[in-house]
Structure 1
Amino acid sequence: MSTTANPPAGPSGPGTKPRPARYRGRAALSPSRLKDFLQCPLLFRLRTIDRLPEPPSQAAVKGTLVHSVLERLFDLPAEKRTEDAAASMLDPQWEELQAAKPEVTAMFAGPEDLAGWLAEARSLVGQYFRMEKPDRLEPAEREMLVETELTSGILLRGFVDRMDVAPNGAVRLVDYKTGKSPSPRFQSEAMFQMRFYALMLWRLHGTVPARLQLVYLGDGRILSHDPVEDELVAFEAELEELWRRVARAVEHRTFEPKKSKLCGWCSFQSFCPEFGGTPPEAPEEGMRRLLTVQAV
């Protein structure tokens, strides 16, 4: 199965993914940025339009580290995909991450803090082996870049952690989560990202993925959903309406803050009116670029 609408063009460096020439340089909607808009339009603006820097968080970097280990685990022959082998990858992957982003070392108060954090990452990797048997899996794709344009001209972009293809051609999309699984009340919201991926794959290849699967390493639970075509049609309409809301916010220069329990984890409180701050003036170039999400 092809991973992009067009063949990749140009060289790619270590850890990079090639991008189709047709879409290079153009803005796109991703599930994480759309969830930002739903959570707080001002957060979306500061991240996507202003592109303000944010300090790395231990939780996010831990997720990146664990994801990199699980991705590289499948480089090994099936019989060597053991828990010990995965654990041995942690330190080299951490060194590689520090080399790429030296600022992550500032997250820790000292060696003991770092050692505890690495132990948590090691525990999450170990949990994976109690949830799946990697020696019995041969992923068709890992860290798969997918880009596609809807009939409305809206460009979607995302990275899928893993795609499995059964002998009968059935596709399963898998995403690893280093946190704990949501309560039943929030499970549909948790599937937003996976429906996004399913829609892209369906629009690219005409086949609805048979299963969407979230693997929660934080508590050892797996959340699965089997989508159907009508559901993806409705979800596409939902995304198009969400884009219209974003475009209206750009037109009227109104990205209002939305206070919630999640504000405690926000890096931008100093710019937020809810906390006595003042947002900077939105850059016109950033707003113009955002509007290239939809082809005219």
Structure 2
Amino acid sequence: MGKKRMQSPSSINTYLQCPRKYFYVYKWKLPGSPSIHLVRGVVAHAALEHLYSVLPEVISDNYKANLKVIVTELLKKFWRENKSDFDELNMTPQQLDAYFEETKDMLIQHLSLIFEKLETQMSKGLSFSDAFRKIKPVCEKEYKSWDYYVRGFIDVIEDVDGKVRLMDYKTSKAAKISDAYKLQLAIYAMLYELEHGVKPSEVGIYFLKFPKSQGGEMTLKVDDELIKHGKFMIEQIHASTDSDNIIDYKKNETPLCKWSSGQCDYYDYCFNGKPLPPEPLKSQWEIQKEKEEAEKKVIAEKEASLDN
């Protein structure tokens, strides 16, 4: 019997996609290859999160133009700060520039939804500054349940006139709430209800590539069935991932194993006989924790020598 793991929507959906991949990632902690989509997603999330930190009084005169400039500068800032991650991708400057421009277009696209919300509030007589504060969401909040042993980071928690919506940002190529996305949202709704004692009104996704008219903002009503779905799947995954034996994690052979331009990070382990490490690797969190403990030990030894 393995040690019970704190699950997340990402780990649960990994198991549902392929149990063997779950074993490689979460049991044996094998690193995956860096991905432009993951790195770009981190940067886009950071830019949108920090957009709401601006002082509205400073930008109220020409807020639309000012917010476009601010979100672009935030994108540049976080793109620079993540340079080391981009460097690992082995992409040409031209390729990275193309992704930067595409990401900028996504953020500008999303501003149109923010402008619509601001205009709705200002039509009720609020000033721009008051409207901005009214629609300002809670961003990137972690929820955790020790009863269900699951955690999740919710990108956006909106509360306007008592109506709470939990929203997630996606840079997906298609504006569609897939089964995997629905499960992620169900878990978020469950975690929110456990924490606050009340259900959110809606959960949904901002598909940043698309305008609202083409599915850029899609939501689901939260009801008992949605939350029950989240709880059931969490319990099923815990029961299915109790073992530390690879034979209990079957390969799910699909086109996601290998495609025309690439393959799963773990393809060679599954199909080409690449040997696994003899024991699980240490996660980045474990490595950092050991480093901190070692540093504390050195400091304590120095202080003890001074006392003597």
* Category of TM-score, reference length = shorter chain: 0.7 to 0.9
Counterpart position of 1:219? 210
Asked whether 1:110 is paired with 2:92, we answer yes
Secondary structure, aligned partner of 1:258? coil
2:169 counterpart letter in structure 1: Y
1:113-128 matched pairs, under 5 angstroms: 113-128=95-110
Counterpart position of 1:180? 173
Counterpart position of 2:226? 231
Tell which structure's C-alpha radius of gyration is larger. Answer: 2
2 CA distance for matches of 1:115 and 1:182?
24
1:12-32 superposed Cα distances (whole Å, 9 cap, x missing partner): xxxxxxxxxxxxxx8411000
2 CA distance for matches of 1:284 and 1:105?
24
Tell me whether 187-196 or 75-84 shows the greater mean CA deviation. Answer: 75-84
Shift of 1:209: 0.8
Shift of 1:119: 1.1
Give yes or no for contact 2:29–2:282 (8 Å, CA) kept in 1: no
Give yes or no for contact 1:55–1:267 (8 Å, CA) kept in 2: yes
- Note closer, same or farther for the CA distance 1:103–1:140 as it changes in structure 2 (3 Å cut): closer
Gaps in structure 2 of 5+ consecutive residues:
119-130, 287-308
Q: TM-score, normalised by structure 1?
A: 0.76
Counterpart position of 1:53? 31
Aligned length: 251
Gaps in structure 1 of 5+ consecutive residues:
1-25, 290-296
2 CA distance for matches of 1:61 and 1:176?
14
2 CA distance for matches of 1:230 and 1:114?
43
- Note closer, same or farther for the CA distance 1:76–1:282 as it changes in structure 2 (3 Å cut): same
- Note closer, same or farther for the CA distance 1:203–1:195 as it changes in structure 2 (3 Å cut): same
Counterpart position of 1:269? 267
Q: Give the number of the structure whose residues are more often helix, by fraction.
A: 2
Secondary structure, aligned partner of 2:256? helix
1:95 counterpart letter in structure 2: R
1:85 to 70, 73, 76: 70
Identity of aligned residues (%): 21
Secondary structure, aligned partner of 1:115? helix
- Note closer, same or farther for the CA distance 1:200–1:126 as it changes in structure 2 (3 Å cut): same
Give yes or no for contact 2:183–2:230 (8 Å, CA) kept in 1: no
Secondary structure, aligned partner of 1:131? helix
Give yes or no for contact 1:108–1:114 (8 Å, CA) kept in 2: no
1:96-175 matched pairs, under 5 angstroms: 96-98=81-83, 102-133=84-115, 135=118, 136=131, 138-150=135-147, 154-168=148-162, 170-175=163-168
Secondary structure, aligned partner of 2:140? strand
1:262-281 superposed Cα distances (whole Å, 9 cap, x missing partner): 223521112113x5545445
2 CA distance for matches of 1:139 and 1:162?
9
Secondary structure, aligned partner of 1:89? helix
1:65-121 superposed Cα distances (whole Å, 9 cap, x missing partner): 1111111111113445612210121111111122xxx24313143221221121111
Asked whether 1:244 is paired with 2:235, we answer no
Tell me whether 119-128 or 136-145 shows the greater mean CA deviation. Answer: 136-145
1:161-205 superposed Cα distances (whole Å, 9 cap, x missing partner): 01011232x31101010113355xx63442111111101111122
2 CA distance for matches of 1:276 and 1:107?
26
Q: TM-score, normalised by structure 2?
A: 0.73
2 CA distance for matches of 1:166 and 1:218?
25
2 CA distance for matches of 1:125 and 1:284?
37
1 CA distance for matches of 2:69 and 2:48?
13
Tell me whether 222-231 or 132-141 shows the greater mean CA deviation. Answer: 132-141
1:60-79 matched pairs, under 5 angstroms: 60-78=38-56, 79=60
- Note closer, same or farther for the CA distance 1:74–1:155 as it changes in structure 2 (3 Å cut): same
